[in-house]
Amino acid sequence: MGDAEETPQLTRRSRRTTKRRRRVSVLGVIGELLITVGVLAFLYVGWQLWLGDVIQGAQKNAAGSELSEQWAQAAETGSPTPDASASPEPTATTDADVSIPVLGQPDDAQEFAVMRVPRWGSDYMVPVAGGVTRARTLDPIGIGHYPGTQMPGETGNFAVAGHRTTYGKPFSDIETLRIGDAIVVETEAGWYTYRFRTLEYVKPTETSVLNATPQLDVAAGDAYITLTSCSPRWSMTERIVAYGVFESFTPREAGPPASLTEGIA
């Protein structure tokens, strides 16, 4: 009789224990899901901040290298490359009396040059295309040319823009430039060498940095280059602006200029 009386109590206790285990199990699953979501989010942020940039930066450098090789091969065979910009017209001469070709304004997203900065490594070769929209130029191609500003080697201001973070961040190291550093713009015609002069920080509304004569202690009537990017990193509250002064043009038939290897270990 005693055993029979204890059986219902044991059964009720067993049911309560089972319910508790089920509750614990559901909470455990939810917790594991939240942890998994957190890990995935962390991995995604890591991809965006580092690995994705590394991969996309390498892809853009490879695209620039390929474009440079196409121009070199075209020069050897004497045939122009497809989709080239308007035929250059000599408008000035260097100290060596070499005619400086000036290309016509490119179409939106049309690649016409490759930027090379020895300070940023021998493999830095980022394509330059017309326009500065993110969707068509800055994100997929790399560096964008402000429409209406001058072209490489032309009297006035050759102004370009590029990301400082994400999408390969071509201007990530803009603040590392030193006075006299070479900024070389390669086109099908040859290489335009500029020398870095100074940096400044301005508000996004300060469009005067795109003027034909930049905000420098320089004379009008010369050729300049202006690189713009966001500042600080991961913010758009300011713009970091790098200025350079045109030094020389080296025609393709003369071979790559010495400025391409300056400062490269």
* pLDDT per position as a tens digit, 208-248: 999 999 877 777 789 999 999 999 887 878 999 999 999 99
Predicted confidence (pLDDT) per residue in 83-114, tens digit: 544 445 544 444 456 789 999 999 999 999 99
Q: Could you give the percent of the chain with pLDDT greater than 70?
A: 75
Contacts 24+ apart (CB under 8 A), 201-205: 201/231, 201/238, 201/239, 201/240, 201/241, 202/238, 202/239, 202/241, 203/238, 203/239, 204/236, 204/237, 204/238, 204/239
pLDDT at residue 24, as a whole number: 53
User: CA 127 → CA 22, 106, 161, 222, 237, distances in Å?
Assistant: 60, 13, 12, 25, 26
Question: Which residues 6+ apart lie within 8 Å of 199 measured at CB?
Answer: 174, 175, 177, 240, 241, 242, 243
Distance of CA 90 to the CA centre of its chain: 30
User: Which residues contact residue 168 at a Cβ distance below 8 angstroms, ignoring those fewer than 6 apart?
Assistant: 53, 56, 57, 58, 59, 60, 126, 142
Q: Which residues contact 64 (CB under 8 A, 6 or more apart)?
A: 114, 115, 116, 125, 126, 127, 142
CA dist 163 → 45, 81, 140, 170, 203 (Å):
18, 28, 11, 6, 16
Mean pLDDT of 135-156: 97
Closest CA to 60 of 170, 161, 154: 170
Contacts 24+ apart (CB under 8 A), 33-41: none
How far is residue 230's CA from residue 237's CA, in Å, rounded to a whole number?
A: 8
Q: How far is residue 221 from each of residues 53, 97, 130, 237, measured CA to CA in Å?
A: 39, 18, 24, 32
Going by pLDDT thresholds of 50, 70 and 90, the confidence category of residue 200 is very high
